[in-house]
Structure 1
Amino acid sequence: MEIPRPGTRIEIVAAMRRVRYEFKARGIKKRKVDITVSVDGVKVVLQRKKKNQKGAWDESKLLVMFHPVYRVFYVSHDSQDLQIFSYIARDGASNT
């Protein structure tokens, strides 16, 4: 989903909520993911099913997204729902 670059904190919070409500309105099921935050960046991979954890997985096939730390410019939680947080990162191709 493409979001125009927000300029203020209020616009950022509004964009977060817009994405959440858009997914809810479309009935899109949320996927369970594992998020790894390190000095390399933020990596999001699909959560493995418990019965298949012992098998060998090709992690590159499970990768949902990766953003280097220097591209992340805002992180926030939703004060209305503390189970949700978001971050905004610049796009690699267009640097926006």
Structure 2
Amino acid sequence: MNEHNFLNGAVRLPPGLLTLSGVSLYMVYSYRALAETERLVGPEGLAYVHTSFGWSLGLAWLSYGLELLAGVLLLVAARRAELQRGSPTRA
């Protein structure tokens, strides 16, 4: 695969998908870091620390959904503008 084909394929990926991948990786590495910290200091050392990763993924999905919605609305608006431009105007 040459570089030109790779770049064309990368541009076609929805940017939100990259965001979700990044957030998922962040959550995995954060969870592993927390597990390693707990192993080093023991459960007592983290007794008063509350960690939650679910909200990160929830916000990422919300962002992705809103991004898709904005894209669809822009496409619909562009299509309507194109149709109005092509039809004769009413006086």
- TM-score over 0.5 (shorter chain): no
Q: What TM-score, normalized to structure 2? A: 0.25
Q: Of Structure 1 and Structure 2, which has the larger fraction of its residues in helix?
A: 2
Structure with higher RCO (Cα < 8 A, 6+ apart): 2
Considering fraction of residues, name the structure with more strand.
1
